[in-house]
Chains A and B, each alone.
Chain A
Amino acid sequence: MSEITQTGQEAPPEPDFVAAGHAHAPRRTDVDPRAARRAERQVVTLFALAALCMVLALVSYVVIPVDAGINLPLAGPVGALNVALGLTFGLGILCIGLGVIHWARKLMPGTEVVAQRHEMRSSQEDRAAAVAAFERGLADSGFAQRPIIRRTLILALLLLPLPLVIMLRDLYTAPAGAPSPAEQLSMTIWEPGMRVVSDVASRPIKPEDVPVGGLVAANPENLHEVEEATGNLNARAKAAIILVRMRPDEIVSEQSRQLGFEGILAYSKICTHVGCPIALYEQRTHHLLCPCHQSTFDLADEGRVVFGPAARSMPQLPITVDEEGFLVARSDFQEPVGPSFWERG
């Protein structure tokens, strides 16, 4: 407490540490020089062991080939280099830690002390000096005496954010004719007549290729072109679908039946909860399970949520066949795919 007292005299500074209120019970190493020497030897042994481990780690890194295997009990066949590096380096770090703690416990001063907390407030002179400096700046600048300067400065500062806001808005305005970013949230690259192709192989699919109980991971045919052109994977993240086929009498919802083709239903692959790609389809229950948070969708009934945190049904892609008999989209999804966003609940 370095406050100025009534008499103008400063109080003596408080010590940082004071002795604890109880007597210190001496350790064996405090009273017995032999015990102290033994503790010293133990610490030195630990540090020397750590040094040895580091050298061994270096040696094993140089000596053991990367692909050498070793059969450990419990763990089975593992890489010998990993085991050697892990054991030597890990043991080395452990020995350093053990040595330091042992040193502190046995040999460093063991007397208990209390660390005092001091007042955080600045001294009276410092506070007065700060106020004086501010007031002198105020007077020198003439901020209070020249209102016209003050007002124009306030005006300029008020207008400062406007160019930033306008530019930010233009960042979000699409070129003429193209969908705005807000609209892009609600659309994918599916369009009328776009062929459905299987994922990985990119083969167009005929209805007879999809057996009852079948599951096909699929994409729009132009996905690769779009990815080439735009250089990112956004289209894939939104347009991926799964095709499932069930007997037409198993489809509960008339709307689902209408959007499908002869029992083949196309659903978005992106969970409506937080957007995990999902294809855990149980063909007997027609349930689609998201492994992230266990949202479960009934694909026989418009992709309705039957369990879990998802708030919206799985969007269904309307499909039909083209004149060559391949499955195509009738249109884009009729609702946004993927997780909910601010303009949707």
Chain B
Amino acid sequence: MLLLLGALAVVATIYALVQTSTEARAAGAPASETQVEQGKALYLEGCASCHGLNAEGTSVAPSLVGAGAASVHFQVSTGRMPLAQPTVQVKRKEPTYNEEQTAQLAAYIATLGAGPASPTPEQLDTTNADLARGGELFRTNCAQCHNFAGKGAALTRGKFAPTLMNSTPQQVYEAMLTGPQSMPVFGDGTLTVQDKQDILKYVDHLQAQTQPGGFALGSFGPVTEGALLFTLAVALMAGAAVWIGAKVR
């Protein structure tokens, strides 16, 4: 056991030394040895029962070797992991771990194999991003599932694309990089860092947008609007018809 811990410490040290800038965490600081150690402790306590003692995966959960820090941060910071029970769709909930513990877990998993790293603060910086182009990219690449207003929509057999209204820019970026659950991966080759920043700016714009007319009804379009109008307008018109036709005394 001592030998194992020693070997792990050596691996972690080497990792911390050779870690390249692209694999830097969002905080910008390289993962320290203690961070990885604490991450492993958290992992063994909260994740190993499903993902295996060495994150090799089991019959109920995938291997995390090569999952990368971005994937861990996305899944843990949105509260999707640890999972309470396996379902068709893993939903967002209150995160179990705080930001520091999440970073420790991400640092540990990142030592197991190369995978997408969390975006750096520079990658998340949208000061020079183009909002209009972001909208075009969003409608081409994201709106088919997440709805034109980012409110989310249904997929097949009980699965759904979640709303983006509660997502942080880092989570949106990590989702594009890693493709959680049904979502495809949007790699940097076809959706460059600049493209992703444009999209982040547009998502931010969608989150801040107010409804000039009020009652967006989930921005689902004709379904909710039609349902509301049908029930409300038909009730009103039926009431009016009864009043007009009623016997006058």
Contacts and interface: CB of A to CB of B under 8 A. Distances in A.
Contacts of A215: 141, 184-186
Contacts of B153: 291
A285 B182 CA distance: 8
10 contacts: A76-B214, A78-B213, A209-B189, A211-B187, A212-B185, A214-B187, A215-B185, A278-B144, A283-B185, A296-B156
Contacts of B179: 211, 213-214, 283
B215 A75 contact: yes
A216 B186 CA distance: 7
If over half of B's interface residues share one DSSP class (helix, strand or loop), that class is named, otherwise mixed; here it is loop
Interface string A254-287: 0000000000000000000000001111111101
Interface string B128-158: 0000010011001100110000000101100
B187 A209 contact: yes
Contacts of B133: 200
A27 B140 contact: no
Contacts of B249: 27-28
A214 B191 CA distance: 11
Interface in A40-88: 69, 72, 74-79, 82-83
A76 B210 contact: yes
A115 interface: no
A223 B89 CA distance: 38
Interface string B184-217: 1111011110010000000000000011111100
Interface string A209-228: 11111111100000000000
A297 to B, nearest CB: 11
Interface in A165-217: 198-201, 203, 205-206, 208-217
Contacts of A101: 243-244
A210 B214 contact: no
Nearest to B179: A213
Nearest to B116: A211
B53 to A, nearest CB: 25
Interface of B: 133, 136-137, 140-141, 144-145, 153, 155-156, 159, 179, 181-187, 189-192, 195, 210-215, 243-244, 248-249
Give the top 3 A-B pairs by smallest Cβ distance, nearest first: A209-B189, A75-B214, A215-B184
Given A76-B210, A216-B190, A283-B183, A307 B156 contact: yes
A199 B139 CA distance: 11
Contacts of B136: 200
Nearest to B139: A200
A105 B243 CA distance: 10
Contacts of B211: 75-78
Residue of B136, B144, B248, B249 with highest tally of chain A CB at under 10 A? B144
Given A211-B185, A214-B179, 17 more contacts: A76-B211, A78-B211, A78-B214, A82-B214, A101-B244, A200-B136, A200-B137, A200-B140, A201-B192, A205-B189, A210-B190, A213-B179, A216-B190, A217-B140, A217-B141, A280-B145, A284-B182
Contacts of A304: none
A72 B184 contact: no
Contacts of A83: 214
Given A217-B140, A278-B144, A79 B189 contact: no
B156 A78 contact: no
B140 A208 contact: no
A68 B249 CA distance: 48
Contacts of B156: 282, 285, 287, 289, 294, 296, 307
Nearest to B183: A283
B184 A244 contact: yes
A106 interface: yes
Nearest to B211: A78
Nearest to B187: A211
Contacts of B195: 201
Nearest to B212: A79
Contacts of B215: 74-75
B75 to A, nearest CB: 15
B213 A82 contact: yes
Given A106-B248, A213-B184, A78 B212 contact: yes
B179 to A, nearest CB: 5
Most buried by A among B184, B192, B215: B184
A39 to B, nearest CB: 10
A215 B210 CA distance: 31
A125 to B, nearest CB: 43
Nearest to B215: A75
Nearest to B154: A291
